[in-house]
């Protein structure tokens, strides 16, 4: 079937029918991801003018690489599937665009050649490709992870195997996925004396997407590793705290409820996972012509305003746990600020929020408004 994204028109596989998957994968639900990728590439080209070459590491129909080529990047598309390679070439011709299309293992390609920007958008975990990407990328590594169940702790053993960390399935499971992924990527980069700075990261639907600026110095790798640590979480009262460092020192009892049902997650990335100024620049690069323009701008606005706290809360879950009514989110956040705490909405969902208050202080502020 024919689809249009941005300024390009593509022939893509039809929807899956009768349980038979097409050999070339195209996911229309990832259009937001791809729209934001193009806006990010535009913003990054202003930040790093010498960046020119872009590798679409798992090109499939070629949509991501073709859209990058339409924006002036020197593009290489790569795929192991011969059908994907043929389709990508046809779609390039259809749009009168030029790009190199490689039919080979992308890890081998990355070890052979260096690129300014490498985009990893595999089916499932990106970690089998991370080492080669960080070894050979000069400026920006873009990563999508669709295996959110392992990342967020729902598939615990798989998460440990894939990301060499302990994920936990908590009420802030989307952010757990973000911070487990960033930790694994930072450790992969550090093996090559490369430091990473997350410029733009979001958890949307059933995937995590991040854009990591690289600094190829051992000191930068050390600084990135210093952003890692652990999260301790009480299953009874939902108290949580962060602890920097690669060696965990788990709590024996909850400081809030004195309970003993405590979880330890990590190592996770505890630092900021986006640069608000860069996110604002990305927002400015989103034209009305993009199919997800409104959604993409709203996401950028939410990320710009979001606090850097390493976990988020769900207001409805807290209030249910306490047996208290939940008021409107704007009022709830205003009550927290009135009590002297920083508070913001989180981009993960309508009732998620971030604050520097602990769970006891959140409850006290909530109860004070009911008196």
Q: Render pLDDT for 328-368 as a digit per residue (tens, 0 to 9).
A: 999 999 999 999 999 999 999 889 999 999 999 999 999 98
d(CA 362, CA 371): 15
Residues 165 and 256 in one domain: yes
Residues 248 and 282 in one domain: yes
Residues 294 and 347 in one domain: no
How many angstroms from the chain centroid is the CA of residue 196?
14
Residues 274 and 328 in one domain: no
Burial class (CB in 10 A: 0-12, 13-18, 19+), 22: middle
What percent of the chain has pLDDT above 90?
89
Burial class (CB in 10 A: 0-12, 13-18, 19+), 11: middle
Write down the residue that tokens 């039809």 correspond to.
14
Burial class (CB in 10 A: 0-12, 13-18, 19+), 321: middle
At 17, the pLDDT band (50, 70, 90 cuts) reads: very low
Residues 229 and 341 in one domain: no
Residues 241 and 324 in one domain: no
Residues 177 and 290 in one domain: yes
**pLDDT at residue 19 is higher than 50:** no
Phi first, then psi: give them for residue 133, nearest 5 degrees. Answer: -65, -50
CB 91 within 8 A of CB 66: yes
Q: Map residue 140 onto helix, strand or coil.
A: strand
For the chain, what percentages of helix, strand and coil (3-state, to nearest 5) are there? 40, 25, 35
What is the arrangement of strands in the sheet containing 228-234, beginning at the earlier edge strand? Answer: 240-244, 228-234, 262-269
**pLDDT at residue 15 is higher than 70:** no
pLDDT, tens digit, 9 for 90 and up, residues 82-121: 999 999 999 999 999 999 999 999 999 999 999 999 999 9
d(CA 183, CA 265): 11
d(CA 227, CA 270): 6
At 2, the pLDDT band (50, 70, 90 cuts) reads: confident
pLDDT at 20 (0 to 100): 34
Which of 233, 224, 230, 267 lies closest to 249 in space, CA to CA? 230
Write down the residue that tokens 């593509």 correspond to.
10
Residues 186 and 330 in one domain: no
Q: Map residue 347 onto helix, strand or coil.
A: coil
Look up the CATH number of the domain holding residue 109.
3.40.50.150
Burial class (CB in 10 A: 0-12, 13-18, 19+), 369: middle
Residues 263 and 362 in one domain: no
Look up the CATH number of the domain holding residue 328.
3.30.56.70
Residues 166 and 219 in one domain: yes
CB 361 within 8 A of CB 341: yes
Residues 110 and 185 in one domain: yes
pTM: 0.95
pLDDT at 24 (0 to 100): 59
- What is the number of structural domains in the chain? 2
Which of 230, 203, 239 lies closest to 318 in space, CA to CA? 239
pLDDT at 16 (0 to 100): 47
Residues 86 and 193 in one domain: yes
Task: Count how many Cα atoms sit within 13 Å of the Cα of residue 29 in the half-sphere of its side chain.
Answer: 6
At 370, the pLDDT band (50, 70, 90 cuts) reads: confident
Q: Which of 305, 324, 352 is the last residue of a domain?
A: 305
Q: Which domain holds residue 356?
A: 313-368
Q: Which of 273, 305, 337 is the last residue of a domain?
A: 305
d(CA 118, CA 76): 10
With vertex at residue 200, the alpha carbon angle to CA 194 and CA 203, rounded to the nearest 5 degrees, is 115
d(CA 241, CA 251): 10
């Amino acid at each position: 079937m024919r689809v249009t994204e941005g300024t390009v028109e593509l022939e893509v596989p039809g929807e899956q029918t009768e349980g038979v998957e097409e050999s070339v994968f195209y996911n229309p639900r990832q259009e937001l991801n791809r729209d934001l990728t193009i806006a990010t590439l535009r913003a990054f080209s202003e930040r790093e003018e010498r960046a020119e070459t872009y590798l679409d590491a798992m090109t499939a129909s070629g949509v991501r690489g073709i859209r990058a080529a339409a924006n002036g990047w020197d593009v290489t598309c790569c795929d192991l599937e011969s059908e994907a390679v043929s389709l990508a070439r046809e779609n390039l011709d259809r749009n009168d665009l030029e790009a190199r299309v490689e039919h080979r293992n992308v890890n081998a390609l990355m070890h052979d050649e260096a690129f300014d920007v490498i985009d990893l958008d595999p089916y499932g975990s990106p970690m089998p490709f991370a080492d080669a990407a960080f070894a050979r990328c000069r400026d920006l590594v873009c990563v999508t992870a669709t295996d959110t169940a392992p990342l967020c702790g729902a598939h615990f053993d798989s998460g440990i195997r894939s990301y060499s960390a302990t994920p936990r399935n908590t009420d802030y499971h989307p952010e757990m996925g973000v911070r487990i992924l960033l930790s694994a990527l930072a450790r992969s980069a550090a093996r090559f004396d490369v430091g990473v700075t997350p410029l733009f990261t979001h958890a949307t639907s059933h995937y995590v997407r991040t854009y990591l600026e690289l600094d190829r110095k051992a000191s930068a790798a050390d600084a990135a590793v210093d952003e890692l640590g652990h999260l301790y979480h009480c299953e009874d009262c939902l108290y949580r705290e962060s602890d920097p460092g690669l060696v965990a020192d788990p709590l024996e009892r909850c400081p809030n409820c004195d309970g003993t049902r405590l979880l330890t997650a990590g190592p996770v990335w505890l630092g900021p996972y986006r640069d608000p100024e860069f996110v604002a620049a990305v927002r400015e690069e989103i034209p009305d012509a993009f199919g997800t323009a409104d959604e993409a701008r709203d996401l950028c606005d939410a990320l710009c305003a979001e606090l850097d706290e390493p976990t988020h809360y769900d207001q409805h879950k807290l209030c249910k746990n306490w047996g208290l009514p939940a008021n409107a989110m704007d009022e709830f956040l205003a009550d927290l600020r009135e009590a002297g705490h920083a508070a913001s909405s989180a981009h993960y969902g309508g009732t998620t929020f971030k604050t520097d208050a602990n769970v006891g202080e959140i409850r006290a502020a909530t109860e004070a408004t009911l008196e």
